[in-house]
Structure 1
Amino acid sequence: MRKALLFLIPLLICLISIGCGSDSKEISLNEFNEEILPSEEIKKVVIEDREDIFIYTSEKVPYRLKASEIGDIEEFIDHLYSQQENIDITYNANVNNTGLLLWQLFNLLVPILLLTHIILLWIALRKVIKSTAGDLEKILYAMISIFVPFFGPIIYLTTKPKS
């Protein structure tokens, strides 16, 4: 019995918090035009990703309108300004910054790859100099290691002749 209560209490708290914790009241455009716009002073309008419009009044919880129901957002904003003049309007766009993330990753990896290339090149050139291969082969291996960045030393170190 105690175990069942210990399981039910967090479950009930979770359900209550989900039901009571809405951060906005969803209303239709008709409800907004007929009930809220004539009677309440609009302080702020926030347009999120051109999908949701949050309207802040003197109430603690903002009203939410779907932009798909409104149609042209600019006409809606003009209509609001014609009813009440001092409204703060904010546009929020949650942009996917994949390009920025890739650029930052590239800037992080370039120094690491450059350092790795320098270390591999140093190891490969030391082994080329110490090898018992002929002078022409040493020059060829050194040129491959130098002129094929990153992969040249790897090619030499994996395919070098056994001494």
Structure 2
Amino acid sequence: MFRNYRYELRELAKTLKISNSNPRNAGRKAQLTPDQTVEVLELHRKGIGNTEIAKQFGVSRQTIYKYIYNAEHFSANPDFTMRMNFMNGQQLCTVIDIDFKHEVVRMKNYIDRIPLRAFGVVENPSWADFEEFLKERCLSASRAGLKAFSERWMFLSMIRC
């Protein structure tokens, strides 16, 4: 369900472009394609400096900062500290934003086929729905420690704040 890091970054770049739909194609054009955005994020993750990345892509340092910032701050609400992409093979089905502090889940479906959606017909999932989703679709029933797993996520999300 969840692909490697490079694929998730590519899907994030596509998602960012989808969320800024512009039917008239007005305004300033993007300086980097979604694939280039994925490359920028990978280089940044490897520790390559923003100046070097900017030279490689022929854009300003400020542009690189902007793309990295937008990828890391996917939500205007700072309490949403984690994003999950629910996939069916290579296809993005649902994007799930998680607020561990207040136990709130927000999601957006990118597919019409209900069985492939993370929460099926549920449009506004509760925290209990999210925990059930983790248990049923992400962690096998034979795996013990769902509570420990969610507590670890809570700990990791607190570190990010």
Please confirm whether the aligned pair reaches a TM-score higher than 0.5, indicating the same fold.
no
* TM-score, length basis structure 2: 0.24
Q: Comparing both structures, which one devotes a greater share of its residues to helix?
A: 1
* TM-score, length basis structure 1: 0.24
Larger radius of gyration: 1
